[in-house]
Amino acid sequence: MDRPAVRAALAALEAHRATISKTRTIDLFAADPRRFERFSVQLDDLLFDYSKHKANDETIALLVTLARAAKLEERRAALFGGAEVNSTEHRPALHMALRNLTDKPFLAEGKDVMPEVRDVRAKVAAFADAVRSGAIRGARGDKITDVVNIGIGGSDLGPAMAARALSPYASPHLRAHFVSNVDGADLGDTLKTLDPAKTLFIVSSKTFTTQETMANAASARKFVADALGEAAVADHFAAVSTKLDKVAEFGIRPDRVFGFWDWVGGRYSMWSAIGLSLVIAIGPERFEEFLRGGQDVDEHFVSAPLDRNIPVLMGLLGVWRRNLWGDDVHLVIPYDQRLGRFPAYLQQLDMESNGKHVCRDGSPADMRTGPFVFGEPGTNGQHAFFQLLHQGTDVAPIDFLVAAEPNDADAGHHALLVANCLAQSEAMMRGRSTAEAAEALRKQGASEAEIAALAPHKTFVGDRPTSTFMYRKLDPRALGRLVALYEHKIFVQSVIWDINPFDQWGVELGKELCNRLVPIVQKAGQSLAALDGSTAGLVEWRRRYVGR
């Protein structure tokens, strides 16, 4: 798509980059004593600090110009107005409605979706309360002690991440489990720990046809039927799906089926009935706090000026690094063990959304789109791949996430954790010159020959960009805010790149080829003639060993 205003804004940014590249970020602090205050934004008890990016007032102004050239404000209005922003699937993307706790309507094709959203939300809450209280029991009258969510992708990553993150708020009488991989070890290892008479399985699949999910669901069903009898299946299963006929055929009662809508993308669906396992774990009241956190960010995203708007700044700084500096990777490092699955959750959210090679009109993308996203909890990461981040030849922007105070953890440990987080962000920016390394070695008594040999190895270039998110405590509302911030950041970047962040056609080809290969892999007599040489060779090699 031809966008002359965007090209002009990018050209201005490139000229600016050539100038600011000569200035070290640490020197920007020396020139402006109020830099931290001016280059951070607070949303209640959450702080976004982007002062360690190589950016000044002109950078932000030029990035805002780029956003306006790409018509970000108009696209944002279309998103919240229920327009067909998912153009290839002809749908709106109204996941914001799922966390709307006000009387405000959300329209899809002119119809307010909120009455249905509230009805499903109430049904989910009532079912969760009944499981938690023991009003809903197993076929033999046992209280439910274990809840197993069976899904994949968005039907697994979100609830699994959030259940781990919010485990201090979970009922001590219920254990949550998440099975996604079609590898039988995933379900098998989980079932070993369970009593079928005390287990509830939730099958999360909109179409009730997802290959991996339904294979695991069928095995879980057999686990229950073999132990308790066929009639017990109805007492030990619930479903999140829209296909009532397929759910009924499976043996799940209609009052245990919870629906959601086409305007909810899988990776944005944790706010919906897909979060049923999370609602059971932490309770409806805590889940509402999680929703409220998402709503906080929605209101901020819509109302805050672009240059003081956290998800807008997150997105624009990402574009600054990706498109003007050429960074291929973006890291998310939570200094919180309970956020261990947050990077994996963001991998899907970001890479499935913005991993696109064509614009919304189908023409080739004229800018580099989404980066690779990965991460691990600190402090583990700094004892592993941080070596490359500090001294490697490539630069990767980093988001650090840390709570001001611990949640159900030792205060001394937490102070050490926070100190590590802040030290890493400072080290990424400050670095260490060869002269500084030499002076440190000299103070340690090293000879001049040793200094000459070692100083280059102890040099850190620095000037590595980082953002820090600090929040009071990792509670449900804080987690809701974090998730929604990244959702809207991804949308902002999709607008700059002019791509559709709400479809995911890239996952389809592998599914199609898998369906073709299943009978060939399962049955030794099937012909390999239609396969490429590598695939045929691998199938043949496997056939030699199966059954030995």
Distance CA 158, CA 154 (A): 6
Sign of CA dihedral 469, 474, 478, 484: positive
Strand 398-403: give its sheet, edge to edge.
40-43, 46-49, 466-471, 398-403, 329-334, 372-374
Among residues 273, 230, 234, 269, the alpha carbon closest in space to that of 252 is found at 234
372 residue type, one letter: F
- For 354-362, the CB contacts below 8 A with 24+ separation are 354/490, 354/493, 354/494, 354/497, 354/499, 354/501, 355/506, 356/497, 356/499, 356/500, 356/501, 356/506, 358/499, 359/1, 359/497, 359/498, 359/499, 360/1, 360/87, 360/498, 360/499, 360/500, 361/1
CA 438 to CA 458: how far, in whole Å?
A: 8
Burial class (CB in 10 A: 0-12, 13-18, 19+), 219: middle
301: Cβ contacts below 8 Å, ≥ 6 apart: 76, 309, 310, 311, 312, 484, 488
What is the C-alpha separation between 307 and 57, in angstroms, rounded? 10
Alpha carbons 336 and 499: distance in angstroms, whole number: 33
End-to-end CA distance of the chain: 57
DSSP state, residue 322:
I
Q: What angle (nearest 5°) sits at the alpha carbon of residue 43, between those of residues 265 and 429?
A: 95
Residue 125 neighbours by CB under 8 Å, 6+ apart:
279, 284, 287
Q: Which residues are catalytic?
A: 352, 383, 511
Q: Quickly list DSSP for 261-300.
A: -TTS-GGG-TTTGGGHHHHHHH-HHHHHHHHHHHHHHHHH
d(CA 449, CA 435): 14
Task: Name the pairing type of β-strands 111-112 and 107-108.
Answer: antiparallel
Query: One-letter amino acid identity for 357?
Result: H
Burial group, residue 265, by CB count within 10 angstroms (0-12, 13-18, 19+)? buried
Q: Is 202 helix (H, G, I), strand (E, B) or coil?
A: strand
How far apart are the C-alpha atoms of 349 and 388, rounded to whole Å?
25
